[in-house]
Amino acid sequence: MFNALFLHQTAEGIAPRIEQVNRAELPDGEVLVAGAYSSLNYKDGLAVTGKGKIIRGAFPFIPGIDLVGQVEASSHDDFNPGDWVIQTGGGLGETRWGGYAQLQRLSSEWVVALPEGLSSHEAMVIGTAGFTAMLSVMALEHQGLEPEHGEVVVTGASGGVGSMAVALLAQRGYAVVAATGSIDAHDYLLELGAKRTVGRATLSDGPRHPLESAQWAGAIDTVGGNTLASVVARLGRHGSVAVCGNAGGFKLNTTVYPFILRGVNLLGIDSNTATRAQRAQAWSELATLPKTIFERIHAATISLADIPTWSDRITEGGVRGRVVVDVNSEVRS
């Protein structure tokens, strides 16, 4: 028997409870993993609070879209007992039981080895958020972005994806403009390597004209809605925006002008279905980040029991950086 956080569907909504579960009840999969850490992403917050329809499996359900742990048993040649492995996305915590458990059985398709030089805790400071930030940087560079092209803006900059995006871009030599609505996050974002910060309000009303004066060579947008529309209108010639989030809205009200008069590109990012090659490249690059970045971005390490409270917090925009979940801790923080 082991502990897991289960979500129950009740007449009043979603009810999270820590329960004991038998390993025989785990889903099918080639890799049985003793969990060490998971993390709390915005999407996890939506799942645990029931504010978003994230769970697409039968209730009761174990959420958690990230997991790092040690292989206990494996029927797949690539993984052996004792190996440290990571899974982010790939349906974990959405279509199949997720990472908020001391033991989980995984489909080998989505499992990657913990890269050399990265601790299991650091891997979950990264988690889906950092992985998505890395995929966004890779997409921008694949489209030709280079540091000398000009400033790159990151929206929702103090959140998990945003913080990692600021740090990754700065490490690669980009001049990063961090757009944030958190008035106390400016020093934090400058410490992560941002060149300057701008207030969220400068973007949140949407553009006044289909084309605004060109300001940025590239962008990573975690906010969506009017913010993304403003970014599209302010990108320079052949500028690209990696579109990865909807923390501020899912609609996009724009015109074709930025695309046909400036050659602007919208690059969609879906970390859930990233290919094996993309996963391998992203994790090997993430493993080279300086340790100080993880220390700065790490907001808290919480227990399974803390997840509901922190889920409320993250869905209200009240979390700076990244929250790690110690699945073996029984202590409420």
Contact footprint for ligand NAP (CB under 6 A):
41-43, 128-129, 132, 156-162, 180-182, 185, 200, 222-223, 227, 244-248, 269-272, 314, 317, 319
Q: How far is the CB of 296 from ligand NAP (least distance, A)?
A: 15
Q: 149 or 313: whose CB is closer to ligand NAP? A: 313
> How far is residue 20's CA from residue 236's CA, in Å, rounded to a whole number?
55
- Three-state SS across the chain? CEEEEEEEEECCEEEEEEEEECHHHCCCCCEEEEEEEEEECHHHHHHHHCCCCCCCCCCCECCCCEEEEEEEEECCCCCCCCCEEEEECCCECCCECCCCECEEEECHHHCEECCCCCCHHHHHHHHHHHHHHHHHHHHHHHCCCCHHHCCEEEECCCCHHHHHHHHHHHHCCCCEEEEECCHHHHHHHHHCCCCEEEECHHHHCCCCCCCCCCCEEEEEECCCHHHHHHHHHHEEEEEEEEECCCCCCCCCCCCCHHHHHCCCEEEECCHHHCCHHHHHHHHHHHCCCCHHHHHHHEEEEECHHHHHHHHHHHHCCCCCCEEEEECCCCCCC
Q: 18 or 198: whose CB is closer to ligand NAP? A: 198
Alpha helices by DSSP H, listed for 176-306, are 186-191, 201-204, 225-234, 257-261, 276-286, 291-297
Q: 38 or 158: whose CB is closer to ligand NAP? A: 158
Q: How far is the CB of 144 from ligand NAP (least distance, A)?
A: 21
Q: 168 or 244: whose CB is closer to ligand NAP? A: 244
Taking the alpha carbons of 223, 227, 229, 233 in that order, is the dihedral positive or negative? negative
User: Closest residue (Cβ) to ligand NAP?
Assistant: 159
Q: How far is the CB of 93 from ligand NAP (least distance, A)?
A: 12
Q: 162 or 218: whose CB is closer to ligand NAP? A: 162
Q: 74 or 182: whose CB is closer to ligand NAP? A: 182
Q: 175 with 147: CB under 8 angstroms?
A: yes
Instruction: Phi first, then psi: give them for residue 301, nearest 5 degrees.
Output: -115, 120
Beta bridge pairs of residue 255: none
Q: How far is the CB of 269 from ligand NAP (least distance, A)?
A: 5
Q: 36 or 126: whose CB is closer to ligand NAP? A: 126
Q: How far is the CB of 1 from ligand NAP (least distance, A)?
A: 31
Q: 62 or 244: whose CB is closer to ligand NAP? A: 244
Q: 314 or 327: whose CB is closer to ligand NAP? A: 314
Q: How far is the CB of 330 from ligand NAP (least distance, A)?
A: 26
